[in-house]
Amino acid sequence: MICADFFRNEHDRLVGFRITGHAGYADYGEDVCCASVSSAVMLTANTVTEAFKIKADVAVEENEIILRLENDSSEDGDKLLLGLLTHLYFLAEEFSGRIKVTVRDN
């Protein structure tokens, strides 16, 4: 299962995420569920850091990516992360039982 944990600050803004796991929907290299999540996550991370130049700590390891905004009051960062959160909610509905999405207070 893919676990997508999003972090929210005291002002109700999204300030980061941690995505782990594997969907197990199909064999490695053929798993459209994992590919959908991976593509959305990488697009968001690159948009945050490269297109919007928002400072963020990003750590990527096998089956895990963590992104935390350095300035947790960034409106643009919050909106970009909200876009990913919304997209992952839709994917979780489409691939029932393969993706778990949570939002936690920081």
**Token code pair at residue 93:** 């509905």
The sign of the dihedral angle between the CA atoms of 79, 85, 88, 92 is negative
Q: What is the pLDDT along the chain (106 residues), one digit of tens a residue?
A: 999 999 999 999 999 999 999 999 998 889 999 999 999 999 999 999 999 999 999 999 999 999 999 987 789 999 999 999 999 999 999 999 999 999 999 8
Angle ∠(95,93,7) on CA atoms, nearest 5: 105
Length reported for the chain: 106
pTM: 0.94
CATH class of 26-105: alpha beta
Q: Domain extents for the chain?
A: 26-105
